[in-house]
Structure 1
């Protein structure tokens, strides 16, 4: 592998590992606000039980995500020194704002969120929870702003070997940011919803903590039912903002090398060197119909329209998009069926659906990772699209040392991911019973009244009738 390949693999592995955790924790932070607010308002102990359980899952994922995110910043300077030097005047202040407005907010209130329950007033606890959630949302805002500038750069001039900002409004609110940010925020909310619904379904299947499980599943599926139709709308506008400016990405995700196929490719094994598909399966006329031509005469564009030196890797773009798209179809169908069950009052008795929902826990995470693979691999071979090539942005490092770091990082991330999965499994087995305000996990029964003088003690027959 070349120096460029090693640097790209190291950065891709780090980003994919990091994104696994915001795909869960951003949505969980919003859920924690809702749960503690409901507990404060209703004084219902089940909401406090849910808050404590999901806080434990959030805390560990949040910590690992922060550590992995810090590594990304170092890799930008070490592995991609040319990129850091040339884009620093634009990217540096945006990332700096992420640190100031998001990381500091999270760091300032995370301690109260984790350890303040029962030690501070409910108002203070709720405020801290909201501030941590606000920090996670702000963090995603600035990260998407920086990444969107790489996709659709604006508000700059290239002078003295650097991209210098001349209009911060256009640089931050670049053509793709206004749609990519809500699209990403909805994606992580949906991802967290299926994560919560899947774990809640586990307890429904096991017949444990039913009040906790039903509310978790009900809230999660309700949020997903609202956001998924909105996400389709947002995704369509993201493609409208990005793909006309990155035609090579559009050509690659369609899976066609030539511009003759009027169908829609649903399965493909691309051969980049031979510029053909080893195998493919397409639905006739569907590609033309997607292009709003029902006469089946409009072909979808092929990657041969882009010069060979400017083509992205079709396999990565094609399958990244298909992973996101097929996962979205699965989630939409799941929520649609759950809504029917809810309306028919069979949501809590559909045992097979509960098992299916349990196994669909990671589907939202897969969709988020697939979307990022599509966005980043489809931008290649540019790190700043149309302005700076990836091959020109890499640092000249010793290949042996870089290979060692790639292998080391991969093993370390694998161990950390396995540890997180093991922690979640142990938390599931322990269950939310330990998080109930009552140590026994259920309200204590009222004590029996003392017998009144002259009262007749119940005999066996009366005791049996009472039972």
Structure 2
């Protein structure tokens, strides 16, 4: 029977898995909105303005659900994982507070102008508000990834009476894995949004709806994906080199490597057997593992047998999640390359097989984000703070009954509340990019209260 600690991990995994989908979408969508409004300011055509209002409504719903699920997630640090808060709160607490003070306040300040300011402010002011919201989403990812990365590659700390305290905030924030994980996550968020935009456009074209707007969205999606997927592959490669240096046990689990050896093959598929410490039904490509993981045909990769059994991460979920993420990543690259070829031949919008493929790939970004997150977090086990604090020592000791009740409540409430939110998003997509409200020039607002009164000669 599962114990309270395991169910607490399941609960945190459930909540964070649900939460991460919305920021991953809203980060990219905010930047997309900034791009669309910039195009409207440049071209002044109704098409771009209609697209802005369409995606603005979707952004507002996704952003709201992300905020709500994030607040719920943070409560667990004080309930189920209070020992982590006690030992590392002096470092993690300020980083999360910086996210609120810089990113969330910036988003909250300009979100109202972005949503309701078309009739109240000038075009440039409204565009500035949209850019500030986009910047806020990026700042939010900066601080969250910094805190998470510190737990993977802790740096800049001292231990005082068993409590981790910051000795060098620069080293804490810019810890060894932070730049690679930030780039990888932000690019993943952009690709997630791009595939939603392109997938929605493909569905509209298949149905013959809003053809001009759908063509514009699909062109933008294909061009963006073709540029960003190679950058994401490069970022993933650099991140892998960083993992090899700082978290070798995680890399060994990702590749299901049991023995430390040189000239390592790349295992395309296998069934890892943790009890027997071997792989069954392995499909290997000679030397390619060393070339990818060390950039040398003769490079050495540590095996899991070099680590005590109680310091090894679970192999199967990490191994398969990584291959799912990489497989979808190369599918994205192939889809973008085909799109460019069809675009050049003038058949991008008429090839129904391609439009169907793009529609099927619509959720691929979300799947990649979840798979990558599972690789990162499960691969860190059995540590909460890598090499310093074990997960079992971070647990609060909450009784089993309480955890069962809270986990069951989360599942039910999330199914109802966020199920409705997702259904509403679906309805917005069905409604499509209709004509935006008519543009009205902002009314002049008096600089001083007394200046609002009419001159004496004009009094009624």
The alignment's TM-score, normalised by the length of structure 1, stands at 0.89
Matching residue of 2:450 = none
Structure 2 matches for 1:111-150, cutoff 5 A? 111-150=112-151
Q: Distance in 2 between matches of 1:71 and 1:379?
A: 23
The answer to whether the 8 A contact 1:323-1:370 is kept is yes
**In the alignment, is residue 286 of structure 1 matched against residue 288 of structure 2?**
yes
Q: 1:437 to 1:200 in 2, by over 3 A?
A: farther
Give how far 1:152 is off: 0.6
State the match for 2:414 in structure 1: 413
CA distance in 1, matches of 2:285, 2:421: 40
User: For 2:436 and 2:201, how far apart are their aligned partners in 1?
Assistant: 15
Report the more deviating stretch, 263-272 or 143-152.
263-272
Q: Who is 1:385 aligned against?
A: 386
Of 268, 272, 285, the match for 1:266: 268
For residue 42 of structure 1, what is the aligned residue in structure 2? 43
Cα-to-partner distance string for 1:180-235 (whole Å, 9 max, x where unaligned) = 21221111111111111101111111111111101111112211111111112111
In structure 2, the CA distance between the partners of 1:82 and 1:15, relative to structure 1 (3 Å rule), is same
Do the aligned residues in 2 keep the contact of 1:257 with 1:302 (CA within 8 Å)? yes
State the match for 1:360 in structure 2.
361
TM-superposed deviation, 1:274: 4.5
For 1:214, the equivalent position in structure 2 comes to: 215
Deviation at 1:277, TM superposition (A): 4.0
Could you tell me how far apart the structure 1 residues matched to 2:318 and 2:206 are?
37
Name the residue aligned to 1:373.
Answer: 374
Between the aligned partners of 2:281 and 2:6, the Cα distance in structure 1 is 26
User: Distance in 1 between the 2:304 and 2:414 partners?
Assistant: 34
Partner of 2:152: 151
CA offset digits 1:109-149 (Å, max 9, x no partner): 11121222334321221121111111111000000110111
Q: Give the conservation status (yes or no) of the 8 Å contact 1:46–1:436.
A: no
Distance 2:353 2:27 in 1: 29
Residue aligned with 1:158, SS: strand
Match of 1:432, SS?
Answer: coil
* Cα shift at 1:178: 1.9
Counterpart for residue 199 of structure 1: 200
1:228 is aligned to 229
Q: Distance in 2 between matches of 1:194 and 1:36?
A: 20
Larger-Rg structure: 1
Unaligned segments of structure 2, at least 5 residues: 440-460
After superposition, what is the alpha-carbon deviation per residue over 1:237-259, rounded to whole angstroms, capped at 9, x for unaligned?
A: 11222321111101000023345
Aligned match of 1:255: 256
Instruction: Say if 2:61 and 2:425, in contact at 8 Å, map to a contact too.
Output: no
**Structure 1, residues 58-94: CA drift from partner, whole Å, max 9, x if none?**
1111101111111121111111100001101111111
* Residue 31 (structure 1) aligned with residue 36 (structure 2): no
